[in-house]
Structures are given as structure tokens and as C-alpha cells.
Amino acid sequence: MPRYLTARAAQALWVLWAAFTVSFAVLYLLPADPVSIAAGADLGAPTDAAAIAELQARYGLDQPLWQQYWTALTHALCGDLGHSISTGQPVTEAIGEALPATLGLAALTLLFAVLGGVGLALTATATRRPWLRAALAALPSIGVAVPTFFTGLLLLQLFSFRWRLAPAFGGQSFAGTVLPALTLALPIGAVLAQVLISGVESTWRQPFVDVALAKGGSRWWVRRRHVLRPASVPTFTIAGVLVGHILAGAVVVESVFARPGIGRLTQSAVLAQDIPVVQGVVLLSALIFVAVNLAVDLIYPLLDPRIAARRDNAAPTILSTTEEVSARA
């Protein structure tokens, strides 16, 4: 296990470095100048060339590209993500102010997605009526196919404008978070339901299930005791990947519902080509993605002990071979 954790930590560092480097390269390949955008020169506003040159020197944009990259990378390693070119605010402070709202939205989204997706999958695989099972199994495909912005606009039209059950824009209370969370949870829950339905059906066809049924176990007991745990491994895998989709979807949802958060911060930073802010958001997203996937990997052995056995058997094989060679020598 220590060797495995060390390898995963190395992979995490590589992912963070790659995310930082790619975002840096993409932003600097854009033709616009962030300082000119902040000064309003791209909108035709009168600007002072000396003032623009002073701002470029303040943010290090007058240095060679490699030097800008090295400076930004070394500062990021020390926890300094720089200052926003648009507002002058420290990037860590801007992200810290926007993060709580997005974390609350993400937590409620995961709750709705897990409850809805897992509930639908269990209902679809438990029913004994073929037509009902087929109908329920077809619902996740519809949820995946519907665009997120369309779902958000539809929920706004129904629950805010027509029935007036939830605030339309900018709501920070629980009632104001429900509609954005439902908008994000629908496609995520649909994917979870698809994967879990497939996992339960494939696990149900395994020989050990027939043995458990032959020993007198009821279908519900066999399903709960022997089927659900190994069948949920792919679902946990895809759930770790979908965390990134929640952060990406927050950009659309927070724009549709006019909510403050990481999504709105990202949108404004991209429009202004605010390189330090965009890189800070990218690093935050990569860090959350890596942490969640590491947590999912650590949960695997609890769901299926065979995974832990495969991990543990790899190292003893090498050690036993080494000991055998030493004994022969």
C-alpha cells in the first residue's frame, strides 16, 4: 500500500503540473492582451501607452515567455498564485470567496445525483416486469441527452416563473440552490444509473450468484449481500470522473441562475483573459479531481476485496522471487 500511495502521489503531481502548463500555454497563445482588456483598449477606450507598459511590467508580461512560465510555476509551488490582472485582488483570495458557494452547490448536486441515479438503477433492476424494467432503463439515456442549459431554463420557467416555488436568480439559500443542483444532478445521476444498471445486470449473471441462490438465499438477500458491492465498483469509478463535470457544469449553471461562485469567476476571468485567475481555477479543479479519484481508489477494497488481494499479491511476488534467488546463491 505505501508503494501504491507513493505512485499515486507522483501521478497527482504530474497531473497538476500538466494542468498548469497546458492552461499557461493556451492562454498565452490567445491573440488578445489581458492588460489591454483590463484597460479597455479593446473596446476603443482612450488609453495611455505608458500606463499599459507599466501594468505589463508590474505583472511580468514584458518578460520572455519562458521566464514568465518559470516565475509563475515557482510562485505556485509556494502557494502564491499571483494577483488578478482585472481587479488586482490576490487569486487565492478571489477563489476563497467564490469557493464556498460552489462547494455547497456541488454537495447538493452529488446528493441528488446519487439518490436519484442509484434509486432508479435499483428500481429498474429489481422489478420483475420486463416492460417496466425496459422503460426505467431507458430514462437515463434521456437525462444524458438533454443539454444542461435547457434543463436549467426549463426548471426556471416551471418552478420560478410559473409556480413561484424557488427564486429565479441569485438565491443563496437552500431554496435558491435546489434548482441549480437539480440542473447539474440530472445528467450526472443519469450516467450513474446507466453504469449501475449495467454493473448489476452483469454481476447477476456471475456463477457465484447462482451458487448463492442454489443454497436457498432469497433474491433480495443475494442482491444486497453479493451483487451490489462488486456491481458498484464501476459506479464509484465514474462518480470520481464526474466530479470534474460538476465543476465544468457550474460555469453554465451559475451563469443561467446568476449565482456567485467558481463558475462565474471562471467566466469573467476567461472573458478578460485574466491568466492568473484562470490558472488558479484550473489548479483547483485538478486538485479536487485528483483527491476525489484517490479517495475512490481507497474505497475500492472495501467494495470488492479481490482488488485489495491483487494489490497485495504484486509486491509479495517480487519479494518471494528475490528471497528465492538469495537462498540459492
The model's pLDDT over 131-189, given as tens digits with 9 standing for 90+, comes to 888 888 888 888 888 888 788 888 888 888 888 888 777 667 777 888 889 989 998 99
42, 143: one domain: no
Structure confidence at residue 205 (pLDDT):
86
In a domain, 170, yes or no: yes
71, 101: one domain: no
29, 147: one domain: no
Of 36, 53, 77, which one is at a domain's C-terminal end? 77
Of 30, 53, 77, which one is at a domain's C-terminal end? 77
96, 68: one domain: no
In a domain, 198, yes or no: yes
Structure confidence at residue 324 (pLDDT):
36
Report phi then psi at 100, rounded to 5. Answer: -55, -40
138, 44: one domain: no
Q: What is the CATH number of the domain that holds 294?
A: 1.10.3720.10
28, 54: one domain: yes
Q: What is the total count of domains within the chain?
A: 2
132, 23: one domain: no
The rounded average pLDDT for each run of 10 residues, N- to C-terminus, in the chain (329 residues) is: 75 88 84 70 60 78 86 89 87 91 89 92 88 88 84 86 78 80 90 91 87 85 85 83 78 81 86 86 87 79 65 44 34
- The whole domain housing 209 covers 92-321
In a domain, 84, yes or no: no
What's the predicted TM-score (pTM) here? 0.76
263, 297: one domain: yes
